[in-house]
Amino acid sequence: MTSTRLDHCAVGVSDWDVANAFWRDVVGAELVELARGISAYRFGEQLVTVHGPGSNPEPPHAVSPGASHVAFVWPGSIVQAVEHLTRRAVAIEQGPVARRAVGRGEGQSVYFRDPDGSLLEFVSYEGRVST
More confident residue, 7 or 51: 51
Closest Cα partner for 10 from 38, 37, 48, 59? 48
Residue-wise pLDDT tens digits, 87-126: 999 999 999 998 876 777 788 999 999 999 999 999 999 8
Closest by CA position to 115, among listed 8, 9, 14, 10: 14
Using pLDDT thresholds of 50, 70 and 90, give the confidence band for residue 129: very low
Domains assigned to the chain: 69-124 (3.10.180.10)
3-state secondary structure of 31: strand
**Dihedral sign, Cα of residue 21, residue 27, residue 32, residue 38:** negative
pLDDT at 130: 43
Question: Could you tell me if 111 and 92 are in contact, meaning their C-beta atoms sit under 8 angstroms apart?
Answer: yes
Report the pLDDT averaged over residues 39-45: 90
Min mean pLDDT across 21-35, 73-87, 94-108 is at: 94-108
pTM higher than 0.95: no
Omega of the bond leading into 115 within 30 degrees of 0 (cis): no
Rounded CA-CA distance 48/30 in Å is 10
